[in-house]
Amino acid sequence: MGRLFRCVLILILVFGLVGPVAVVAIYRFVPPPMTWLMVERMFEGHGFDRRWVPLRRISPQLVRSVIGAEDARFCEHHGFDFNAMQKAMAHNEERPGKIRGGSTISQQTAKNVFLWPHRDYVRKGLEAWFTVLIETIWGKPRIMEVYLNSIEWGPGVYGAEAAAQANFHEAAAQLSPAQAARLAAIIPKPLAWKAARPGPYIQKRQGHITAAAGTIRRDGLADCVLR
């Protein structure tokens, strides 16, 4: 029993601690390969278009728009926004038909890059662990760079460069404030909502995000990324 316990402990250390730390350290410098979601979408017939670009070749307008839309306190928290979590829980109790998430950009990045897309308690636990790791090892600029190069922005479209080209025939570096706000607006439902042909709801979201991006710029809430 003692030998079995040591073997189990070693396996836990290797796969639960050493393995994730090593992978996160590698991805600090190397672009992460295809994610679980990308593979799943390919089997669904959505294709694959992803063009990795460094953060300096992504418009600051998109960075501010995404922070304004998804995680206004991105530069202030250390991976978890507990106030946002509490608000999301209260909202979901009052309106269970319209679930609101409280995940930060760091948590979304951890989930997108390292884990499977479907919700369960195991994934949430691993998501928290990977969030701590990327906050510690990567830092905010790298988290934003990986996030903007990995998230889904349409059927088979991943990352800012592919999204900018597919929707506006522009490089990610050349996105206007309106274009950036539209891309940020469709992040919650990239298979259903269209940035190139926005309906009334997306146009309304675009207006809110444009205003939020202005606040982000005025108050320096993206300075941890846009140095």
Tens digit of each residue's pLDDT (9 = 90 or more) over 205-220: 999 999 999 999 999 9
Separation between Cα atoms, residue 148 and residue 153, nearest integer Å: 10
Residue 128 is predicted with a pLDDT of 93
219: amino acid identity, one letter:
D
Residue 5 is predicted with a pLDDT of 61
Separation between Cα atoms, residue 136 and residue 143, nearest integer Å: 10
Cβ neighbours of 169 (radius 10 Å): 9
Residue 16 is predicted with a pLDDT of 62
Residue 99 is predicted with a pLDDT of 54
Contact, 140 vs 104, CB < 8 A?
no
Residue 86 is predicted with a pLDDT of 74
Q: Tokens in use for 134?
A: 């990327």
Tens digit of each residue's pLDDT (9 = 90 or more) over 15-47: 667 778 889 999 999 999 999 999 999 999 999
Residue 40 is predicted with a pLDDT of 94
Residue stretches of the chain with pLDDT short of 70: 1-2, 4-16, 88-101
Residue 164 is predicted with a pLDDT of 98
| Torsion (CA) 203, 76, 103, 207 in degrees, nearest 10 | 0
Residue 95 is predicted with a pLDDT of 62
Residue 92 is predicted with a pLDDT of 58
